[in-house]
Structure 1
Amino acid sequence: MNKNSNAYTFIFAIAMVVVVAVTLSFTATTLSPLQKENVRKEKMQNILSTIGIDVDRDSAEELFNKHITQQLALNHEGEEKEGVVAFDVNLAKELSKPEDEQTYPLYIANYEGSEFYIAPLRGNGLWDAIWGYIALKDDANTVKGVVFDHKGETAGLGAEITTDWFQQRFTDEKIFNNDGDLVGVNVVKGYSGGNDKDDNKVDSISGATITSDGVSEMIEKRLKNYLPYFKKRQEIKVVTR
């Protein structure tokens, strides 16, 4: 065949497209299990980090199995669902359902002699979804730690929710007010409360009001779904309404 002909060029182009498509498909198929495993271990790392365990990916599963003593999949009445694995619950999909049909994962951890309740979070930032985890101490009121992430917030502004300096502001904050109402932790612009851990407020990120509001709403809205479960636990002393 004449290599200078249109037919040769056309056939060569088709052959190259097929080769590239097959190569990409093979690569994606080969890497998919590894990618899923990395996501699974990163999830374990994030859950553990809320209670102060910073661990590399290789050690995440071992420490997760050691310190996470229970994984509960709850319904809207605070009762455990049978046959549902909490770790496998896709919160993004659950949010598309009515609240009384959703599954609410809850992790109970034991670390350094203390018990913690860890709940996954998901909400909306300025541009797209934000998510994370929040750990509560054994009074189900005091925050042990948080971790946040996002899909498309602005670098230097809303994306700062992933930084240590912002997340550390939530440590020891309360999610119930003095009247026993669950109000979460409000991220407030121009907050002047200093180190007051009983006012349910932290300072916001400068120039990221919508993302900060999204964090506030996410915490309050998601945690309220766990009230029925907390009210059933007799050992929890916090007054809830």
Structure 2
Amino acid sequence: MSTHHLGAAQPSPDDTADTADTPVLLDRREGPFGEVALRRRGAHFEIIANGTFLMDTSDGRSERLLISAALDSLDSPRGAHVLIGGLGVGFSLAEAAQDRRPGRITVVEREPAIIEWHTQGDALLAPFAGTGHTDPRTEIVNADLLDHLRTTENRYDALCLDIDNGPDWTVTESNDSLYSEAGLDLLEQTLADEGVLAVWSAAHSRTFEARLRARFARIEVIEIPVQVERGIPDVVYLSSRV
């Protein structure tokens, strides 16, 4: 991995004279799963992985709802252990930290660069995580989610996953297995008996929804309108055994 520093990548005044729609590259790394980049577009930041847009800081409603809806679905959310799959720009962590119900918050992020953009140097993404990074309930784990699920001894009350653009649009091919029957087996093994699985997607996935309905007693599909021209709503799938 390269060791670029955010401060060294700041644009000159001439670079920022473009329109707000022109992205400015702040940092780019070769990480363990390919290239990951941080860009600024106007007042907002963007994360790009292997040339695929992942998320930006313009609208975090659906990422926040991923957490709040999962906690609201629990019969006994007080003291819940929440796993957040994917740190991203930090909206999900911010939502979990501002809620007093979770007892523990474990964030699993496989890209060291993303963690560093939150915690080192200028820490440009830290403000979007709210109080998450200083909350004593929070633990940031640098690991691939599948590896973490295979090795953890925890059983989570809420598994909140936002590591791809959805089951049908993964960042790397290795993530495909997470949404397969084998991946759902693994998720169920680490889910508490009365826990909830929440999965974020940039669009409906009929195949993945069918897999959920075949194994979980309760399924809720929540649509969140997005403020972009494509007009396709974000989706959060909530699943539980009871």
Which structure has the bigger radius of gyration?
1
Q: Same fold (TM over 0.5)?
A: no
What's the TM-score once normalised by structure 1's chain length?
A: 0.27
- Point out the structure with the larger strand share: 2
What's the TM-score once normalised by structure 2's chain length?
A: 0.27
